[in-house]
Structure formats: structure tokens, C-alpha cells
């Protein structure tokens, strides 16, 4: 276990990349949610490089991985503490994870909606992977700007993005681009507009995106295509009756590849500029969406 200086450097870098004031503090819980336990007085930390593990969710498998790799800090996109804690018990899965991490002096930082709102954050990345060399965005804007006062450099930022494309883009090509950008994901849910037409005949000129669950953020969008992680039945039905198309890719699948493609290299770059931050940035291999698509016909009777 390296010096706490490495953990401090990771936290500082995350706050620079994704300013905490961008998080939706009305309901979200972000920041350093689990600090690194102090060593007994007079005990010196082991010398050597540190390690940070990036994950979308903190699960038992991810905790096992963190312990095996002896990391100093976990950056978990989703908050590990969301509701107030009245106790810490091994009976609750998340509390058990926290107790194991405390015992091993592993900190946890959770940025969540600060990443969603940031310039170059999750929603901008979702826009980027939809586009290709043939079709660019003529215009991109925030769907739900942050209404509270922000620093001058952050003004205008917020949640969700809407793009106006330079020209109509076939929905089939958008789906293939999404698949590639999301790590060659092979299955997506598509709700086609009413009156229903063949998917090959659907062309898109405007797109709204929201990582995770987009029903609330995108509730007033009039974009022809809505891309999100998950959406409730009635919202999807409403959109299709209004002539819009909805694509869902599973909640965390709309977020996970961002860790590898964007956060890892950006965090490595930030840490390389600090003499106190010698160490590795790792992406969890155990992190995965809880849902998977099963072909029932392939199951044994």
C-alpha cells in the first residue's frame, strides 16, 4: 500500500477533470465517499507506486479484484453510499463491501453526475461514438442546463445532449456506430416510431442522448432519436406515438466504455504531471452490467 499522497493526487485529479459543482447535489451523492483509514501512529506506509481501479459499479467481484491488485483507491462512477447509513453490517451487501475496503485501507471516490455534465464527459462521449467520418454534428447543445450559479468556465453545462446532424443518417448506421463505441455490444432495444416502418427506412437528423436512465432528463426533447441506457415503458410508448425512435442499451452499458476510452487516459495524463502520483490506472475486468440477453431456445429443457 503506497503513501496516502497517491490517493490525494487521484482525488485532486478527479475534481479537476469533473468539478464537484457539476454534480446534481439535489439527489446525488458524489465525492470521496470512503477515505483511506489512517495507519497507527508511528507506522510508515509502504513505499512504491500506487494504483487506482476504475469501475462503473462497486460489486463483490470488483472488491475482490481491488484487494487482489492491492489498489489504493477505487473510482466508482456510481455512488457506493446513496442513502444515509444508520449502521455498518455484513448483512447488507454494499455495507459489507465498505467494511472490507476499510479493513484494507482502500478509499472510494464517486463522481457520477459530475461526469455526466462535464465538457467532454459521458454525454459528449455518447454523441461522439454515434458520429462517423461521413456524418458530423452541425450543432450540439445541453438538454438540461444546471440552473444554480456555476464558475464562469462551467456556465452552460448540464445533463443530456442534443445534436443536429449535418444531414440525415440511417438509423442502422447509428446502431452499428453505437455497437462499436460501446465495446462491440451485439444487442440493443429499439422502439420504432408510429406509424411503424421498416428499420432500414428510418433516417435521423436530430439525436438526444442521456447516459444511464434518460426518462427525466429527456422528457421534453423533440429529437427524432433518443439514446439512453434504460427507459420506462410508458415514456418509450409516448415517444413512439409522437413519431420518435428510442434506443436503449442497458443502464451501465451506456457508461462503462467511457472508463476505458476517456477516463483512463485522461487520469493517467493528470497523474503524470504530479511527482506525488507515481502509479497505475487500472480498469476493472470484473465490472459488468447485471443484465444479459439470454436466448431461451438455446437452454436445455
Query: Where is mean pLDDT largest: 132-136, 173-177, 293-297?
Result: 173-177
**Is 300 annotated for ligand binding?**
no
Domain spans in the chain, listed from the N-terminal domain onward: 4-115+257-283, 119-251
**CATH number of the domain at 4-115+257-283, please?**
3.40.1390.30
Helix (H/G/I), strand (E/B), else coil: 99: helix
Q: pLDDT tens, 68-84?
A: 999 999 999 999 999 88
Higher-confidence position of 54 and 49: 54
Fold of 119-251: 3.40.1390
Nearest to 1 by CA among 63, 51, 61, 35: 51
Relative to beta strand 107-110, strand 73-76 is parallel
- Give the three cell numbers for residue 200: 432500414
- β-strand pairing of 189-191 with 245-248: antiparallel
Q: Is 255 a known ligand-binding residue? A: yes
- Tell me if 78 is assigned to a ligand binding site: yes
pLDDT, residue 242, reads 96
Closest CA to 231 of 254, 244, 250: 250
Residue of 67, 101, 226, 258 lying closest to 161 (CA atoms): 226
Please say if the pLDDT value at position 245 is more than 80. Answer: yes
Alpha helices in the chain (DSSP H): 4-17, 60-69, 93-103, 113-117, 122-130, 171-181, 233-241, 256-258, 264-272
* Model pLDDT for residues 144-155, shown as the tens digit of each residue: 999 999 999 999
Identical fold for domains 4-115+257-283 and 119-251, yes or no, is: yes
The per-residue pLDDT for range 202-235, each reduced to its tens digit, is: 999 999 999 999 999 999 999 999 999 999 999 9
Q: For residue 224, say whether it is annotated as part of any ligand binding site.
A: no
Write the pLDDT tens digit of every residue in 92-115. 999 999 999 999 999 999 999 999
Q: Is 0.85 surpassed by the pTM of this model?
A: yes
Q: Which three cell numbers stand for residue 209?
A: 442522448
pLDDT at 122: 98
pLDDT at residue 202 in the model: 97
Amino acid at each position: 500500500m503506497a503513501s496516502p499522497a497517491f490517493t490525494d493526487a487521484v482525488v485532486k485529479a478527479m475534481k479537476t477533470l469533473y468539478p464537484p459543482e457539476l454534480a446534481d447535489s439535489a439527489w446525488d451523492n458524489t465525492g470521496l465517499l470512503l477515505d483511506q483509514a489512517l495507519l497507527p501512529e508511528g507506522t510508515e506506509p509502504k513505499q512504491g507506486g500506487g494504483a487506482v481501479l476504475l469501475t462503473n459499479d462497486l460489486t463483490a467481484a470488483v472488491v475482490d479484484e481491488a484487494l487482489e491488485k492491492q489498489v489504493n483507491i477505487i473510482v466508482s462512477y456510481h455512488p457506493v453510499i446513496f442513502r444515509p447509513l444508520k449502521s455498518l453490517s455484513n448483512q447488507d451487501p454494499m455495507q459489507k463491501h465498505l467494511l472490507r475496503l476499510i479493513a484494507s485501507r482502500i478509499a472510494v471516490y464517486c463522481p457520477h453526475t459530475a461526469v455526466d455534465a462535464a465538457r467532454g464527459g459521458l454525454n459528449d462521449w455518447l454523441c461522439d461514438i454515434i458520429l462517423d467520418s461521413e456524418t458530423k454534428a452541425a450543432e450540439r447543445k445541453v438538454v438540461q442546463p444546471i440552473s444554480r450559479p456555476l464558475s464562469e468556465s462551467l456556465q452552460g453545462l448540464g445533463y443530456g445532449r442534443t445534436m443536429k446532424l449535418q444531414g440525415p443518417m440511417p438509423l442502422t448506421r447509428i446502431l452499428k456506430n453505437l455497437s462499436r463505441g460501446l465495446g462491440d455490444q451485439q444487442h440493443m432495444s429499439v422502439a420504432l416510431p408510429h406509424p411503424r416502418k421498416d428499420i432500414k427506412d428510418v433516417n435521423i437528423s436530430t439525436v438526444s442522448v442521456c447516459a444511464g436512465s434518460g426518462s427525466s432528463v429527456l422528457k421534453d426533447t423533440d429529437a427524432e432519436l433518443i439514446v439512453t441506457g434504460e427507459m420506462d415503458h410508458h415514456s418509450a410508448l409516448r415517444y413512439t406515438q409522437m413519431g420518435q425512435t428510442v434506443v436503449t442499451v442497458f443502464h451501465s452499458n451506456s457508461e462503462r466504455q467511457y472508463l476505458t476510452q476517456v477516463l483512463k487516459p485522461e487520469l493517467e495524463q493528470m497523474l503524470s504531471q504530479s511527482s506525488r502520483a507515481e502509479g497505475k490506472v487500472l480498469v476493472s475486468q470484473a465490472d459488468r452490467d447485471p443484465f444479459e440477453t439470454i436466448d431461451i431456445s438455446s437452454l436445455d429443457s
